[in-house]
Structure 1
Amino acid sequence: MNNILQLKGQFHKRRNTQSFGPVNLPKDAKVSAKHVNELRKQLEGVKKYWESTPVIKGALVSAHYQRIVPKSNRLQFLLGEKGKHPNDAIRGAKFVDELSAGNHMRKKHVFTYFVSLDTLQKTINYLEKCEEVIKRFYNNEISDIDTENMNKGQYDDSIMKKNPFLKTVVDVFFVERFQIDRAPKEAKESSIVTIYKTGVETIELLSKLGIEMINAKMINETTLRLDKGEIEILHNNAPYLIAMQVRDFSKVVIDDLEQTEEENTITIDSPQSEPTVGVIDTQFDERVYFHEWVEYHRKVDDIIELGSEDYFHGTSVSSIIVDGPRFNPKLEDGCGRFKVRHFGVATAGGFSSFTILKLIRDIVASNRDIKVWNLSLGSAMEINPNFISPEAAELDRIQCEYDVIFVVAGTNRGPKNSESIKIGAPADSLNSIVVNSVDFDGKPASYTRIGPVLSFFYKPDICYYGGDKSERITVCEPLGMAKVCGTSFAAPWITRKMAYLIHIVGLSREVAKALIIDSAAGWNRQDGIKYSMGYGIVPKNIQDIIHSTDDEIRFIMNGTIDEYETYTYNIPVPQDMNAYPFFAKATLAYFPSCDRDQGVDYTSTEMDLHFGRIMEKNGKATIKAIDYNKQAEEGIQKIYEEYARKLYRKWDNVKHISEALKDNARPRKVYGSGMWGISIKTKERLLPRAGRGLQFGLVITLKEMNGINRIDEFIKLCMLKGWLVTSIDIQNQIDVYSKAEEEIEFE
């Protein structure tokens, strides 16, 4: 087997030099005076409502678009506050499924804006003038040809100046209608509610409605816990304020347990310098044989009386992380043992999302030495297609702020659920690694739940062996050994692997996550329309993750985003008879900041990956991407947002691109420079340059078509081109880690 290589060298940076051209309607587009008139009347109705309902200092208005739109096709002019872009007024985003003009169901974007009444009136005035111009000068309908002629000087500005008119027409084209959206009545019990940001403080706003708040109920400035009576008041008096709502008390789906056996006498050595993993779960029983390896902290209120059932789940999870391979020899992973710092935050019966949200941040902030956290608690309720759960959003924020990673169980379907159901919170966390379960035949387990998240994001990320009724996982519980199955017992095996990669091998969390996903995908990725297995099953043994086969060259790279484009055009791939005899694949992972208030447009930063051969086109060097990605290429017709997301995973924080293995494949043509290149183009949803300084991890694999080992040739070529090449020798890494953990005694 070949060692993985680490390439270090200079990535080049480039600012975005592309400038926006003149404002025009899209090709073949038309806007009618009738449509402008309809939008104006809708906004007049919205304004009249808010003038008679002065609960907030302004107006909430939802713009329903014709399709899923990119940032550039959102409102660019209408609803813009003085001196600000309309994007600054967005308070939420969601998808709705509606009939299109061709009578087909189509997913469409809906954005909710908060603006002043003056801005609303100003927008109405623009629409009124725009309608008059179209009626008088364009026979009730304006086309893309007309807007092109305007930019050539053919325009009568007696009614409306050219620039605001063109911007109004383009905005009108993409918007289907304006209206006030109201949240449907859902939960009738305690709920976690997020209200739209308006010009009034949340406590003051709710007190106007008769809901007295105390700070203890607040999660952040707009998210809070309300009881049944308060929910009723809010729905009856101001349903337009509710951006998101989920029930607070989540029932834990208990994993399937088989009869418990008497524990044989088992001993274990005392812990030494092994890495420590964090576990957030139900309680831990300190009577088990491996108790010396676990530092236990009870985090439920002392007034809660704990029963024996409250210790089963948490103790079982920690037993796998500490010593799982001992009683599951088929799952021997070569990772050794790990110490655990176990935080008991829940009981077997369920948990309050509000309480968990408060606890997790404090736990992580107080234990900064822990880099990998296992969270095998999950809700029985399905995720919402239009917003991230509060628990997942908090995990995503924590991972951005504290440079940690969570491994999260994909949640289980209960025995009474015969139909396929969506995963439950917090398995919708995008920055976490979400793990589903397969049986020992490699098929989705009988209790499997599915993604996607927000109608788009691939979740789960991967899957692993969690047992099923035919063959289960063995764990240690308070009463002895037990046979179990569930995603709760698949996730800890991945936690072990992540801890090994980060602590022992010394990889960044970005590279470690990319490597786990890349190893699961292999050359036959499993992600697809079923959303049950993620990218595939992670190999059992860590050696199969940190090595590649003899006919493969696998190398990793780290980097930081400082400008619009981060690139290198200097990767020398070995040639044979002036051709590249390789298949290629690449996996990119990063941890973007996320904004739950943005609904379906949740991730704030997009990294657009291009990887392939360098060729010359129109006098410029360009990358011929292995997945034919042409996003952001100059001179290329724009790709619809809907297809960019589907084909190139736009806005997803994991990018995996791969060529298919073919028996009759021919070696790839060598272009002029004889080099391959990587380009990562970065886009921001909200604030420009907000994602600067963001780290990324990249794993690239080249597979020789004829089974020849060309890794030595690749190393020499890379060194010739100035790359610092390090072969990751695991024994050497173990020695380095052990030496670093030694306690030095000074005489």
Structure 2
Amino acid sequence: MNEILSIKGKFDHISNRSRPGSPKLPNGAKVSSKKLQKLIYDLQRMEQYWKKHKEIPGMLISVFYIKIAAKSNRISGFFSKSKASNEKIVGAKFGPDNKGKDRHIITYNVNAEDVQDSIKHASNAINILENQFGNEIDYKTFNDDKTINKLDFNSFDISRTMFKKIIVDAWFVEKFDIDESTVSGSDYRIVTFYNTGREIKHVLKNIGININNDQMLDEQTVRLSENDLKLLDERAPYLTAMSADDLSKYTSADFGIKDSFQNKTVPAPTTEPVVGVIDTPFDTNVYFSDWVDYEDRIDPNIPRETSDGNHGTCVDSIIVDGPSLNPELDDGCGRFRIKHFGVALSSSRTSSFTLIKKIESIIRENQDIKVWNISLGSETEVNKNFISAEGAALDKLQVEYNVIFVVSATNKRADESENKRIGAPADSINSIVVGAVDKDNNVPSYSRKGGVLSFFIKPDISCFGGDTNGYMKVVDSYGQIDDRGTSFSAAWITRKLAYLIEVIGLSREVAKALIIDSAYGWGVLPKNHNYIGNGIVPRNIKDILETQNDEIRFVIQGISDKWNTYNYNLPIPTDKDNKYPFFARATMCYFSKCTRAQGVDYTNTELDLYLGRIKDNGNVDSINENHQSDLTDTHISEEDARNNFRKWDTVKHINQTVKASARPKKVYKNPMWGINVKSKDRLGHNNRKNIPFGIVVTLKEMNGENRIDDFIQRLNLRGWIVSKIDVQERINVYNQAEQDIEWE
């Protein structure tokens, strides 16, 4: 077996020197004066609507696009008075078009001048179409610069650039309208409002709703009562971007587990790593209680039942002593200490608002803990158009405090729908969300269906969680029992992640990439990925930290600081014919700032991975034939980019298919391979700066030869710092670092 290599080298950074070309209509497109007139009518109707609603300083107008729109396809002529239209976006969601396919509905916060200016430009564009093109222009004529440049735009009181922008906008936009949301309910709800440029407390006061700071989750999200919700629906339904029930039941599924009580003992803890657990209460009477530092954060006035501590105690039993309870599942990671925070009861509903506040304070007060387990899952399904408040809170905390959450993918009861979607916070994008498989690696009976915001893969990965054909042994308040669920599969992944970060010393980005890469392997995305994610993680940590003799695996860290972060100095070994005899795959992970109010356009930053030979034109010939950043290639649709290249996802996996008939690849003039990480900033707020990423690369020799020594030698000659991830050596370093030093 080969050990994984950690390599360190310099990444360079360059800004994007290219500038957007002249607006173009896609093939087959044509725009008529009739279409422009309809859009003008929509805007005039919006003017009249907002003259009746003076609660906010501007206007909230939703643009209904004809498809899922890339940033480059969104309006740039309409609403562009004073600053770019894209900077005025305050929300986005998916809605069906007239054929039932998803399309963007994007809400803009604009003012009267924006609307009047847009009407003026559209009217002038109509004059050009009527006078020069017989009321309609097709893509061939429009994209012919010679034809367009002959026009005297001054006589039509519009610039050539604005004319082209308005025409392209008109093709991609179906209509302008008000997108109202109903929020009434019989209980408290958490409501997120569009950013209107005015403090939400003042806006709500104008419609008769008074709130205090204790009701605010963030600047745009508020907890409202039933009466306040009715007022909001009656007077200003257009203010609501999204809403969700505040009271949720966070439970494990009721599986009818059986008792198999046994007395057990465990050695006293010493210097083992500490993992954070946020769950139901912990029963301090269990045999491993010395390993758990417990804090109760639940209101003491809430009535409790003995069973309220079962779930949290069971999760802890796996993290502390899972291999002793289940020898056949021994992962080689040893034992872990736990700092456990009880925040919810299984027997009663919990306020999502209160839960989020508790989690925020726990992470803020315990910044020494880097790996956190949350196996609380809401029974309520996540929304298709926005991330839950709980999931968004976890994503924000991971960016702010350099921590990572392992989250269970939630369970369904036996009497629930076969296709029930996952519940909060399993829609957290930055977290590792864990599904389960049974002993035969099949989807268990309690699994809920993942997939978040139409294309994010959740759960991320899966491992054994038990089912009726083979339970898992855990410990609750009554002793050792047999149980099953994603909470227990998440506990096993928590152990592996904590081992990689705390003992081996890897960054969270690299550790997450290693876990996901180990599940994916050389295969393709599983057909049942909505239930098991990218694949099943190997049980033993050695299978993650070692490779076969014919494989070379190395990890590399970097920081994205500009549009292109790159290194063109990877000396991949060649064979006797001076060709590359390798299949390649790579997994990259990073943690993105996110904006919940943006709805389906949730992640602020896109990092796109390119790995491969360096072509004679200087570009990386990426192993997955990704051409998104090739400026001469414009045929990749936004929908295809998201589905095929995981655009806007914080996990990128690219790979070549291992085939017996494959032949070694030729060497270009530049004999090196390169890594490119291209960044995109969705909102234009410099979110692409200083983003750490971790990449795991695996090379598989086509003829079964072990070429790792050759690779190490080449790396050293090219100035790379190379070290083997020797597990025993890393354990020794960890143990020495944790020893108490007595000063004389």
Contact 2:612 2:620 in 1 (8 A): yes
- For residue 608 of structure 1, report the CA deviation from its aligned partner: 1.1
Match of 1:390 in 2: 389
Q: Displacement, 1:294?
A: 0.4
1:393 is displaced (CA, Å) by 0.4
Distance, in Å, in 1 between the alignment partners of 2:184 and 2:229 is 10
User: Does the 8 Å contact 1:463/1:536 carry over to 2?
Assistant: yes
| 1:689 to partner: Cα distance | 3.1
1:158 counterpart SS class: helix
- Cα displacement (A) at 1:672: 2.4
**Paired position in structure 1 for 2:561:** 562
Deviation at 1:78, TM superposition (A): 1.2
Query: How much does 1:45 deviate?
Result: 0.5
Q: Give the conservation status (yes or no) of the 8 Å contact 1:451–1:458.
A: yes
User: Within 1, Cα distance between the matches of 2:146 and 2:689?
Assistant: 39
Cα deviation code 1:38-71 (max 9, x no counterpart):
0000110111011012121111100011111111
Q: Does 1:449 align with 2:448?
A: yes
Alignment partner of 2:101: what SS?
Answer: strand
Equivalent pair of 1:81/1:116 in contact (CA under 8 Å): no
The equivalences for 1:340-489 within 5 A come to: 340-349=338-347, 350-489=349-488
Structure 2 Cα separation of the partners of residues 392 and 185 of structure 1:
20
2:275 matched residue in structure 1: 277
Structure 1 match to 2:100 = 105
Aligned to 2:314, the other structure's residue is in SS state helix
In the superposition, the TM-score normalised over structure 1's length comes to 0.96
AA aligned opposite 2:136: E
Indicate conservation of the 8 Å contact 1:438/1:444, yes or no: yes
The equivalent of 1:129 in structure 2 is 124
Q: Deviations over 1:629-654 (max 9, x none)?
A: 01111322341111111111111110
CA distance, structure 2, for counterparts of residue 215 and residue 339 of structure 1:
37
* Matched residue, 1:733: 730
Contact kept, 8 Å, 1:257 with 1:483, in 2: the verdict is no
Q: Tell me the residue number matched to 1:532.
A: 531
Quick one: which of 661, 685, 689 aligns to 2:686? 689
- Give yes or no for the alignment of 1:30 onto 2:30: yes
Query: Separation in 2 of the partners of 1:90 and 1:9?
Result: 39
Aligned counterparts of 1:206 and 1:562: Cα–Cα separation in 2: 40
Q: Does the 8 Å CA contact 1:271/1:339 hold for their aligned counterparts?
A: yes
In structure 2, distance between residues paired with 1:473 and 1:331: 9
> Structure 2 counterpart of 1:290, which letter?
F
Q: CA deviation at 1:259?
A: 4.8
How has the CA–CA distance of structure 1 residues 600 and 160 changed in structure 2, closer, same or farther, with 3 Å as cutoff?
Answer: same
| Equivalent position of 1:308 in the other structure | 306
Bigger drift between 418-427 and 203-212 goes to 203-212
Q: 1:186 to 1:469 in 2, by over 3 A?
A: farther
1:245 aligned to which of 238, 243, 246: 243
Give me the whole-angstrom Cα distance separating, in 2, the residues matched to 1:134 and 1:260. Answer: 76
In the TM superposition, residue 456 of structure 1 has moved relative to its aligned partner by 1.0
For each residue in 1:50-106, what CA deviation from the matched residue of structure 2 results, as whole angstroms up to 9, or x when unmatched? Answer: 101212111110001111111111111311242x2112211100111223xxxx432
Where does 1:630-641 land on structure 2 (aligned, <5 Å)? 630-641=627-638
Match of 2:164 in 1: 166
In 2, Cα distance between equivalents of 1:680 and 1:36: 40
| 2:692 maps to 1:659 | no
Secondary structure of the equivalent of 1:305?
coil
* Match runs of 1:89-104 below 5 Å: 89-99=88-98, 104=99
Conserved in 1, the CA contact under 8 Å of 2:509 and 2:694? yes
Counterpart CA distance in 1 for 2:301 and 2:718 is: 66
Q: Secondary structure at the match of 1:677?
A: strand
CA drift at 1:583: 1.2
| Range with bigger deviation, 54-63 or 153-162 | 153-162
Q: CA deviation at 1:170?
A: 2.1
Does the C-alpha gap of structure 1 residues 79 and 527 become closer, same or farther in structure 2, counting only changes over 3 Å? Answer: farther
Check whether the contact 1:260–1:480 (CA below 8 A) recurs between aligned residues.
Answer: no
What's the TM-score, normalizing by structure 2? Answer: 0.97
Which range moves more in the overlay, 49-58 or 34-43?
A: 49-58
| Aligned mates of 2:457, 2:42 — CA distance in 1 | 37
Per-residue Cα deviation, 1:142-192 (whole angstroms, up to 9, x for no partner): 234245236534334212222322222222221111000111457442211
**Alpha-carbon distance in structure 1 between the residues aligned to 2:623 and 2:60:** 45
Matches within 5 A, 1:643-658: 643-658=640-655
Q: Which of 672, 677, 680 pairs up with 1:680? A: 677
**CA-CA distance at 1:688 after TM superposition:** 5.0
Aligned residue number for residue 586 of structure 2:
586
**Which letter maps to 1:121?**
Q
CA offset digits 1:301-329 (Å, max 9, x no partner): 12113221110000111111111110111
Is contact 2:529-2:535 (8 Å) kept? no
Alpha-carbon distance change, 260 to 647 in structure 1, aligned in 2, over 3 angstroms: closer
Q: Note the alpha carbon deviations across 1:421-466, whole angstroms, 9 max, x for none.
A: 2111100000000000100110111111122100011111000111
Moved more, 659-668 or 737-746: 659-668
> Where does residue 284 of structure 2 map in the other structure?
286
Aligned to 1:183: 181
Q: Report deviation, 1:355.
A: 0.7
- Quick one: which amino acid aligns to residue 580 of structure 1? Y
Give the partner amino acid of 1:657: I
* 2:530 match: secondary structure: coil
Other structure's SS at 1:490 match: helix
Q: Matches of 1:675 and 1:417 in 2, distance apart?
A: 55
* CA displacement 1:543-578 (0-9 Å, x = unmatched): 111111111100000000112111112212222222
1:27 offset after TM fit, Å? 4.3
Change (3 A) 1:664 1:176: same
2:295 aligned residue: 297
Deviations 1:618-670 (A, max 9, x none): xx212211111011113223411111111111111100011112122222222
Distance 1:188 1:81 in 2: 43
Q: CA deviation at 1:120?
A: 1.7
Asked if 1:613 is matched to 2:613, the reply is yes
User: 1:227: how far off?
Assistant: 2.0
Tell whether the 8 Å contact from 1:256 to 1:486 is kept in structure 2 after alignment: no
1:507-526 equivalence runs, <5 A:
507-526=506-525
- Residue by residue over 1:346-400, the C-alpha shift from the partner in whole angstroms, topping out at 9 and shown as x without a partner, is 0003321011111111100100100000000011111111100000001000000
Confirm or deny: 8 A CA contact 2:457 2:529 kept in the other structure.
Answer: no
Once the 2 structures are TM-superposed, how far is the Cα of residue 262 of structure 1 from its aligned partner? 6.5
Unaligned runs of 5+ in 2: none
Q: Which residue of 1 aligns with 2:112?
A: 117
Distance across 2 between alignment mates of 1:422 and 1:260: 27
In 2, the alpha carbon distance for the partners of 1:493 and 1:744 equals 32
Match for residue 599 of structure 2?
Answer: 599
- What is the aligned partner in structure 2 of residue 154 from structure 1? 151
Q: Tell me the SS of whatever aligns to 1:373.
A: strand
Preserved CA contact (<8 Å) 1:260 1:481: no
Partner AA of 1:70 in structure 2: A
Change (3 A) 1:481 1:258: farther
Distance in 2 separating the partners of 1:663 and 1:564: 38
C-alpha separation between the residues in 2 aligned to 1:406 and 1:599?
22
The question of whether the paired residues in 2 share the 8 Å contact of 1:258 and 1:483 is answered with no
Per the TM alignment, residue 733 of structure 1 is displaced from its structure 2 partner at its CA by 0.5
Report the equivalent of 1:7: 7
* CA-CA distance at 1:256 after TM superposition: 4.1
Cα contact 1:435–1:464 (8 A) shared by 2 = yes
Where 1:449 maps in the other structure, the secondary structure is: coil
Structure 1 window deviating more from structure 2 (253-262 vs 506-515): it is: 253-262
The one-letter code sitting in structure 1 at the alignment partner of 2:333 is: C
Separation of aligned partners in 2, 1:42 and 1:393: 34
